Chains A and B, each alone.
Chain A
Amino acid sequence: MLTKTLTVALVGNPNAGKSTLFNALSGLRQRVGNYPGVTVEMKKGQFTAGGVAIDLIDLPGTYSLAARSPDEMVAVDLLLGRRPEEPRPDVVLSIVDATNLDRHLYLTSQLLDLGEPVVVAVNMIDAAAAQGVKIDCTALSAQLGVAVVPIQANKGIGVEALTRAVLDAAESGKAPAGPKFPAAFDAEAERLQADLGGDVPEFLTRRVLLDVGGYVEQWLVEKHGAGLKQKLTDARQRLADANCGVPGVEARSRFAWVKAAVTAAVSRPAERPVTFTDKLDKVLTHRVWGTLVFLVVMFLMFQSIYLWAKPLMDAIDGTRESAAKLIESHMDQGPLRSLVADGVIKGVGSVLIFLPQIMILFGFIAFLEDCGYMARAAFLMDRLMSRCGLSGKSFIPLLSSVACAIPGIMATRVIENRRDRLATILVAPLMSCSARLPVYVLLIGAFLKDGYPAWLPGLVLFGLYMIGFTVAPLVALVLKRSLLRGAAPVFVMELPAYRRPKLGAVLRRMTEAGWAFTLRAGTIIFAAMVLVWALLYFPHTDPSGRSYPTRIEEAETAAKESEEKLKELKEKPDATEEDKAELEKLEAAAGEADKLNGEWKRQSLLGRAGLFMEPVFKPLGWDWKVGMAALASFPAREVIVGTLGLIYDVGDVDSGAIGDDEADDDAKAKATGLATAVKDDWAKDPVRGKYGVAVAASVMVFFALCCQCASTLAVIRRETRSWAWPAFTFAYMTALAYFGAFVTFQIGSLITDALR
């Protein structure tokens, strides 16, 4: 009887049904394990079987154990017990697809070389039977030398027998032997093993010989010096001379072994029947019909994200507002109240507001992936994406970024190639996200509405979106040619058979994405929001030492008190001179709070930084007000509308009210007021009065290209596990934005001069 906890590693090809089996075995007790320095995550689940506690580790789907990158090496190291975080697995559970045994058993044959007990689960036995494929598991077990259990993971059939087989394998502890390699290869491996010494497992010694330029080779050459490289070259040359050159020798040896096993245990109909998948693919991968279906699917997906997320986002926003109001009415005025209401609650709100979009998008992605459509979409889009050095798999992440870069960046997890994935992550924030829209609408409304043809605002808006659509692929191309240059990525993708997705699995993916975002990115976003709050709050006393918040409160109280009087005076039919003077005074008092707020923000740390940096903004045609608003909006670009409102003394403008016909009248009036205030203010200034349109265009181009979103940077940090990539994204996008705004203003002002 076993008493200790068993560690079982679950390994299989992508699409073998690994996650389904993992969920069937471990139920709800799952957690995600992270490994330093790599971007892979492995799920871990716990369950008990026959009184034994079992730790199940779900390794990322792979076609072989030939590691090409640090990410792939994690799985190999874990299987060999070389990761300090995890014990060496007691049993390796190899899951294979019954409809595609030949290929899946290749990985199994590598697992047999690990020197650990192996159990094989033959999944989708029903689908194989439907195709007329009969598998004799007893015969297969005799051929492979390990237990073979037929299962249907999606229905939980055979799972009990499988756990029993795992327990038996652990108890016997018998390690199977994999396929035999030619004697010449074994001799070379022994020779190399003697050179490397005992700290390199035999499994890795054989791999380093087989995987030319693979990760094991890079790692060992770094450790043992260039001498090893020469030894490897010599050994491989000798193997080639002996007619068993790498990597061919591995494929030949293993597939011969697989073929022998399959011939003995599997009977197939002479003619493969045309499956449902084949019929469906006739339409879905068709260049014309398939593309049409794809466009409809994408349209429906984004339409639903927009429609379903909107009420939820509004609800979150409403809760945030009322929570802030509640705090304001129950706490004494002071820095602490402001921190809680403006910093903490707004910070938490700005994290949670992204949740509906992220979860809905991930629901769609999980559904499309699980049913097998995602690979077809990538196939259709590959031709387009290959022009900018990416693959079809980058299409959906980039398209999602039009709604919001955060779910888009999280969606890049479907891209296996590390360089492709990085390039996609780095350009995703260039796609024009929904948070840029209020900025565009505000500036277009202020400068391009009156006195211009009616089609111009729409055209400018279209142009701004096109900036993102054209610059992103160009930057991707440049990145792939420079920083992320490397051997052309091997683009080969499997199109799995269509399957009915499971609701539970889709919901699980949605909640996982939601948690991952809230917990790990949320903390960073939250910190950034609090920082900007502090920069706008301090110092909070005027030159005479009185506190601004107190003065604003007093002004607000005064305005409220005189509200009745003001209304009365306004409606008075026969107003005297005295009344008019009184009215003016009262109106001024009503605007006093907004004016004070503006004065406070101007002398805050951020306001001073804006003034100090005015020379930097000058070539863009900006004054310090625009510059400061742009600075304040670096953590979240939609902040610019509110900040502009403060700076131009209109009060706190709700960015959601811009262009929203359903917003309440007060919010709408304030939004329109801001556009008018900006316009009036610029009219008084020599530069902005003359070149108003050029300045507005320069601001819009800056916002189109700049990475003003702490959340995006936090997600990039989370997905790449490094601070270098978010820093790089921020730097290149800011430089690009500055340059773009500079060119826009300079050309715009030249055109303005020429037209005059």
Chain B
Amino acid sequence: MLMPLDMLRTGEVAEVEEVSGQPAWVGRLAELGIRQGSRVRVVQSGTPCLLDVNGCKLCLRGGECSQILVRPVA
């Protein structure tokens, strides 16, 4: 099931399926490791939220998270 990243709750892990939005923004997220196929764990939900991407903590805002579609991993 696909859902926007901001729907995930604290502690949930998901695989990124698609990042939409402006190319510059998509590019920046890819540089930071958020791109199709990468795994993210929600450390703290809400806005801004905290994500764990490959052992590195990133902080994003809710509006921006909603442009990232993910598939939750059980």
CB within 8 Å for A491 and B24 given contacts A247-B30, A285-B44, A383-B48: no
Q: Chain A 437-455, CB within 8 Å of chain B: the 1/0 string?
A: 0000000000000000000
Question: Given A64-B31, A251-B35, A379-B50, A99–B55 Cβ distance below 8 Å?
Answer: yes
A743 at the interface (CB under 8 A from B): no
Q: What is the minimal beta-carbon distance from B62 to any residue of chain A, in angstroms?
A: 10
Residues of A within 8 A of B27 (CB): 64, 66, 210-212, 247, 250-251
A37-70: contact bitstring with B at CB < 8 Å (1 yes, 0 no)? 0000000000000000000000000011010100
The answer to whether the Cβ of A213 comes within 8 Å of any Cβ in the partner chain is yes
**A512 CB–B CB distance under 8 Å:** no
Q: Which residues 7-32 in B have Cβ within 8 Å of A in the complex?
A: 22-32
Contact A103-B32, Cβ < 8 Å, known A491-B48, A494-B58:
yes
Answer whether residue A295 sits at the interface, using C-beta atoms and an 8 A cutoff: no
Report the nearest B residue to A487, measured CB to CB.
Answer: B22
Chain A residues positioned under 8 Å from B55 (CB to CB): 99-100, 131, 272
Chain B, interface size category, equals 20 to 34
Q: In the complex, which residue of chain A has the Cβ closest to the Cβ of B56?
A: A100
Q: Point out the residue from B36, B47, B57 that lies within 8 Å of A495, measured CB to CB.
A: B57
Question: How many angstroms between the C-alpha atoms of A246 and B60 in the bound complex?
Answer: 23
B20 shortest CB reach to chain A, Å: 11
Whether A103 and B54, one on each chain, are in contact in the complex, defined by CB atoms closer than 8 angstroms, is: yes
Check: A622 CB closer than 8 A to any chain B CB: no
A493-B59, A494-B32 given; A285·B54 CB < 8 A: no
A491 with B64: in contact, given A63-B28, A379-B59 (CB under 8 Å)?
Answer: yes
In the docked arrangement, what's the CA distance between A277 and B43, Å?
Answer: 13
Contact B24 A490 (CB under 8 A): yes
Bound Cα distance A246, B30 (Å): 12
- Is residue A647 within 8 Å, beta carbon to beta carbon, of the partner chain? no
Find out whether the CB atom of B44 lies under 8 angstroms from the CB atom of A494: no
B27 CB to closest chain A CB, in angstroms? Answer: 4
Chain A residues closer than 8 Å to B33, beta-carbon distance: 102-103
Q: Look across to chain A and name the residue whose beta carbon is closest to the beta carbon of B46.
A: A287
Answer yes or no: A382 CB below 8 A from chain B CBs. Answer: yes
B28 to chain A, nearest CB (A): 5
A294 interfacial contact with B, CB 8 Å? no
Choose among B31, B50, B57 the residue with the greatest number of A CB atoms under 10 Å from its CB.
Answer: B31
Given A106-B31, A495-B50, does the pair A247, B58 have CB atoms closer than 8 Å? no
Most A CB contacts (10 A, CB to CB) among B23, B26, B46 go to: B23
Contact residues of A between 468 and 489, Cβ < 8 Å to B: 487
A255 interfacial by beta-carbon distance below 8 Å: yes
CA A255 to CA B53, docked complex, whole Å:
14
CB atoms of A247 and B23 under 8 A apart: yes
Most chain A CB within 10 A, of B32, B35, B47, B64, is at B32
Taking a contact as CB atoms under 8 Å apart, the answer to whether B48 and A255 are in contact is: no
Q: Provide the bound-state CA to CA distance between A749 and B44, in Å.
A: 54
User: B23 and A246: CB pair below 8 A?
Assistant: yes
With A493-B59, A495-B58 in contact, do A379 and B48 touch (Cβ < 8 Å)? Answer: yes
Q: Does A296 contact B (CB under 8 A)?
A: no
A residues less than 8 Å from B61 (CB atoms): 382, 386, 491
- B48→A248 contact, CB < 8 A: no
Neighbouring B residues of A493 by C-beta, 8 Å: 58-59
* Chain A residues with CB under 8 A of B54: 100, 102-103
Q: Mark A189-220, 1 if CB is under 8 A from B, else 0.
A: 00000000000000000000011111000000
Q: How far is the CB of B18 from chain A (nearest CB, A)?
A: 10
Contact A492 B64, beta carbon cutoff 8 Å: yes
User: A646 to chain B: closest CB distance in Å?
Assistant: 53
Q: Which residues of B contact A654 (CB under 8 A)?
A: none
Residue of B nearest to A251 (CB): B30
B34's nearest neighbour on chain A, judged by CB, is: A492
- Whether the Cβ atoms of A281 and B48 lie closer than 8 Å is no
Is A375's CB within 8 Å of the partner chain B? yes
Complex partner residue of A491 from B23, B36, B60, CB under 8 angstroms: B60
Chain B hits for A255, CB < 8 A: 30, 35
Establish whether residues B31 and A382, one from each chain, have CB atoms under 8 Å apart when the complex forms: no
Residues of A contacting B26 with CB < 8 Å? 247-248
C-alpha spacing A492/B28, complex, angstroms: 9
Contact B29 A492 (CB under 8 A): yes
Residues in B neighbouring A250, C-beta threshold 8 A: 27, 30
Are B32 and A212 touching (Cβ within 8 A)?
Answer: no
Q: Which residues of B contact A68 (CB under 8 A)?
A: 24
Among A64, A102, A247, A272, the most chain B Cβ lie within 10 Å of the Cβ of A247
10 shortest A-B CB distances, which residue pairs? A251-B30, A212-B23, A495-B57, A247-B27, A63-B31, A64-B31, A493-B59, A382-B48, A379-B59, A490-B25
Q: Which residues of A contact B (CB under 8 A)?
A: 63-64, 66, 68, 99-100, 102-103, 106-107, 131, 210-214, 246-248, 250-252, 255, 272, 277, 281, 285, 287, 375, 378-379, 382-383, 386, 392, 487, 490-496
Cβ contacts A to B, 28 pairs, < 8 Å? A63-B31, A64-B27, A100-B54, A103-B53, A107-B31, A211-B24, A212-B23, A213-B24, A214-B24, A247-B27, A251-B27, A281-B50, A287-B46, A375-B59, A378-B59, A379-B50, A382-B48, A382-B59, A382-B61, A490-B25, A491-B59, A491-B61, A492-B59, A493-B58, A493-B59, A494-B57, A495-B57, A495-B58
| Chain B residues close to A by CB (< 8 Å) | 22-33, 35-36, 43-44, 46-48, 50, 53-61, 64
Given contacts A211-B27, A281-B50, A494-B32, 13 further A-B pairs with CB under 8 A are A63-B31, A66-B27, A100-B55, A212-B23, A212-B27, A248-B35, A255-B30, A386-B61, A492-B28, A492-B58, A495-B50, A495-B57, A495-B59
